[in-house]
Amino acid sequence: MQKEIILNSQPIHYTVRRHRRARRLRLTVNCDAQVFITVPRWLALSEAERFMRQKAEWILEKIKQFKSLPGNSLPLGKRGHYLTYRAIARARVIQKLNEHNQHYGFTYKKISIRNQKTRWGSCSRQGNLNFSYRLLFLPEHLVDYVIVHELCHLRELNHSISFWKLVAEAIPDYHQRKAELRRQGAS
């Protein structure tokens, strides 16, 4: 559902996503400078708007950040751009998976390269690994972090202490890389 809100006298268009499993409000500004708010089914939309007003400075700063990115930074995800780079991204992801999985020895099923706007990667309960083609445009050390992060989800499908210990085996400075990845534009 598309809506509009005025934040600091600026009209902001945003998308409301109702989700049956959501337990709290979740605010996202993606690399296209689009604003999304995930709302639990039981919560009134007026509460979501109140939350957005509280986070107005953060929202406006993120929009400004993404709009100021130079044209050669993260692509905006147009279908043609995705189709052009998908095969190259797949080859890079497979190479990195093979490289890092020599340490872990985990078994995974399918690898998918997607035009994801809000995630760099994900791992399903079935052992399928999904990655954004935008990984191609990240520095090497951040690609390594994303690959290792998703590989470790094959063993620990959560973000427990055990999970982070697994990540630290290959990426001891994962805290810094995680923070840098956030600055690159994904939550």
In tens, the pLDDT along 109-141 reads 999 999 887 889 999 999 999 999 988 888 889
pTM: 0.61
Q: Give the domain range for residue 86.
A: 79-184
- 73 lies in some domain: no
**Which domain-ending residue is among 44, 67, 90?**
67
- Say how many C-beta atoms besides its own lie within 10 A of residue 59's C-beta: 23
Q: Is residue 74 part of a domain?
A: no
* Confidence tier at 186 by pLDDT (50, 70, 90): very low
Residues 45 and 88 both lie in one domain: no
Domain boundary among 11, 32, 67: 67
Does 87 lie in the same domain as 15?
no
- Which CATH number fits the domain that encloses residue 131? 3.30.2010.10
Residue that terminates a domain, selected from 38, 67, 96: 67
Note the pLDDT of residue 34: 82
Strands, DSSP E only, in the chain? 2-7, 10-19, 26-29, 35-40, 111-114, 121-123, 129-132
User: For the chain, how many structural domains are there in total?
Assistant: 2
